């Protein structure tokens, strides 16, 4: 929205060169990962990722078109040219870097185990053995369980919302997901009766350096512009302002 207003303002002033002429930058997000990206009641994409994407477009002075894509096909869709960048809380991992290029990380989170209050389950291999644990398919959290808790009984879900529904219904003994996402969920009505177990898991080997913007391998020019734009918004206070809209703690990665 800001981008649109910005472009219109530019065009109206007759100053527009790049913004009005260039093709819009097509950005994909998932739209099912609140508060990072989600669809609000009026059908608009909202969230931290969406605000960051719009801020980057403002800095790059380019019009952006943000659309929602199913998570498990989001990288193939990028490489097929259906959009130019992914801003969807995607963790930077070596496997993914074989398929796409990432900008510098724009936030770092970590994973957490959430289970019913009173349950004595802990994020340790022995305690997790044989427990039914929900996790999102194709996520780094699924890899984390496989590496650290091979004895856990894993169920793979298409969205985090679905595994949380099954946590509430009692089908699962716990879920492993991103710390900030789960912290917000615990604050909501749905999260009543559940709590985080043990410490946050950071494991950069598995979870990656943090979330980055993904672009196609051959799109190095866009990669450079996005990296510069990220520097700009982290330096000029835009990032902090967006961060504070959503979180109590700063997610800004160490640079």
Contacts with another protein, residue ranges (CB under 8 A): 72-73, 75-76, 95-96, 98-99, 134, 137-138, 142-143, 155-158, 162, 165-166, 168-171
Name the CA dihedral angle for 229, 110, 243, 226, rounded to a multiple of 10 degrees: 10
Nearer to another protein, 122 or 156 (CB): 156
Name the minimum Å distance from CB 30 to another protein.
14
Name the minimum Å distance from CB 71 to another protein.
9
In angstroms, the Cα distances linking 123 to 32, 72, 80, 120, 185 are 25, 26, 38, 10, 19
- Give dist(CA 178, CA 180) in Å, integer: 6
Residue 35: is the preceding peptide bond cis (ω within 30°)? yes
Nearer to another protein, 37 or 140 (CB): 140
Q: Decide if 91 contacts 210 (C-beta within 8 A).
A: yes
How many CB atoms are closer than 10 A to CB 76?
Answer: 11
Nearer to another protein, 143 or 238 (CB): 143
- Give dist(CA 236, CA 126) in Å, integer: 47
Tell the residue number behind the tokens 């206070």, with chain if given. Answer: 237
Nearer to another protein, 130 or 198 (CB): 130
- Give dist(CA 120, CA 112) in Å, integer: 15
Nearer to another protein, 102 or 239 (CB): 102
Nearer to another protein, 4 or 82 (CB): 82
Name the minimum Å distance from CB 168 to another protein.
8
Name the minimum Å distance from CB 166 to another protein.
7
- Give dist(CA 200, CA 179) in Å, integer: 7
Name the minimum Å distance from CB 32 to another protein.
13
The 101-102 sheet, strands edge to edge: 64-68, 25-29, 85-86, 214-215, 101-102
Nearer to another protein, 166 or 219 (CB): 166
Name the minimum Å distance from CB 101 to another protein.
14
Name the minimum Å distance from CB 121 to another protein.
18
Tell the residue number behind the tokens 């209050």, with chain if given. Answer: 117
């Amino acid at each position: 929205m800001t981008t649109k207003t910005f472009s219109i303002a530019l065009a109206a002033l007759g100053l527009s060169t790049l913004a009005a002429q260039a093709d819009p930058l097509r950005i994909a997000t998932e739209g099912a990962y609140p508060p990072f990206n989600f669809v609000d009641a009026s059908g608009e994409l909202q969230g931290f990722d969406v605000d960051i994407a719009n801020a980057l477009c403002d800095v790059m002075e380019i019009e952006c078109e943000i659309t929602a894509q199913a998570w498990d096909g989001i990288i193939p869709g990028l490489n097929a040219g259906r959009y130019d960048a992914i801003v969807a809380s995607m963790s930077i991992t070596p496997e993914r870097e074989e398929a796409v290029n990432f900008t510098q990380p724009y936030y770092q989170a970590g994973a957490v185990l959430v289970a019913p209050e009173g349950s004595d389950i802990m994020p340790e291999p022995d305690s997790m053995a044989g427990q039914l644990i929900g996790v999102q398919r194709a996520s780094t959290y699924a890899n984390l369980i496989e590496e650290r808790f091979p004895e856990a009984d894993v169920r793979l879900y298409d969205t985090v919302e679905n595994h949380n529904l099954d946590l509430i219904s009692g089908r699962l003994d716990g879920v492993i997901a991103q710390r900030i996402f789960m912290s917000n969920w615990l604050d909501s009505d749905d999260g009543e009766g559940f709590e985080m177990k043990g410490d946050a898991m950071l494991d950069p080997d598995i979870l990656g350096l943090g979330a980055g913007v993904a672009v196609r391998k051959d799109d190095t020019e866009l990669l450079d512009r996005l990296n510069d734009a990220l520097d700009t918004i982290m330096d000029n206070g835009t990032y902090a302002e967006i961060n504070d809209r959503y979180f109590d703690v700063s997610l800004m990665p160490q640079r």
